Amino acid sequence: MSGETRGLGGYLAEERSRLFDGASPEKREQMLAAERTREVYRAWNAVCAHTREGSHATGLHYRPETNELIVYMDSAAWTQEMTMLREIIRARMAATGVDVAGLVFMTSKEGYASRASSAAAAGTAAGTNGSPDSPAKGPAGSSSARRAAKTPPPHKDLTPAESAVIDREVSGIKDQRLQEALKSAMKASFEWRKGLDAQNKA
């Protein structure tokens, strides 16, 4: 094992301890909720992000307490049409491995809808700055989404070897949902660190 990989292992061990070992039950529940939210958004995007209907979605909000996905549409007509299609969409999301209790379609506030509809085809339905895992959180999210698009956080993808080290670090956690939540958090943390290092060296 190279020195670089050993260094990565040390860093990830610290992250595991920081994120998980000392976490309160409430914090662990928050991690699980965040991971579940990402899974639901990914399922929506897999089914709808690149469709005519999906291009009229202006934001998503997941309610973990009821297992419902709230989808904001840019007009009342599209809200009505998507409401009629909700069981078909829910079944297709379930086919990707994510089963939500319900889909609720709502119309975005006037003013936000007109701005968001023009951006939807470029990825608003898929997520902030076109990311499939970071959707805009409804009408209130427009200004923060534009700021994020201007100044994206540092990010650099992990190599297969680095991903394997993360897998080893979380392999001892028996709860599969907690394991996946911790893995996602550690992956995001290290990708941010790599991106920051790359920026500093540029």
Domain encompassing residue 16: 3-31+157-201
Q: Is residue 73 domain-shared with residue 101, that is, in the same domain?
A: yes
**DSSP per-residue letters across 132-158:** TT----SGGGHHHHHHHHHSPPP--PP
Does 25 fall in a domain?
Answer: yes
pTM: 0.50
Structural domains counted in the chain: 2
Same domain, yes or no: 82 and 100: yes
143 in the same domain as 161: no
Indicate whether 92 belongs to any domain.
yes
Tokens read off for 11: 């860093």
Q: What is the mean pLDDT of residues 83-92?
A: 90
Domain shared by 89 and 9, yes or no: no
Over residues 89-99, the pLDDT tens digits come to 999 899 888 88
Angle formed at CA 128 by CA 12 and CA 148, multiple of 5 degrees: 75
Q: Is there a single domain that holds both residue 61 and residue 145?
A: yes
| Co-location of 163 and 143 in the same domain | no
**Same domain? 60 vs 141:** yes
Residues 79 and 125 in one domain: yes
Whether 61 maps to a domain, the answer reads yes
Q: How far is it, in rounded angstroms, from Cα 122 to Cα 138? A: 17
pLDDT in tens, 137-165: 444 444 443 443 344 556 678 888 888 88
Closest C-alpha to 136, from 146, 148, 127: 127
Q: Decide which of 109, 133, 149 is a domain's last residue.
A: 149
Phi, then psi, of 127 in degrees rounded to 5: 150, 165
Q: Helix (H, G, I), strand (E, B), or coil: what is residue 99?
A: coil
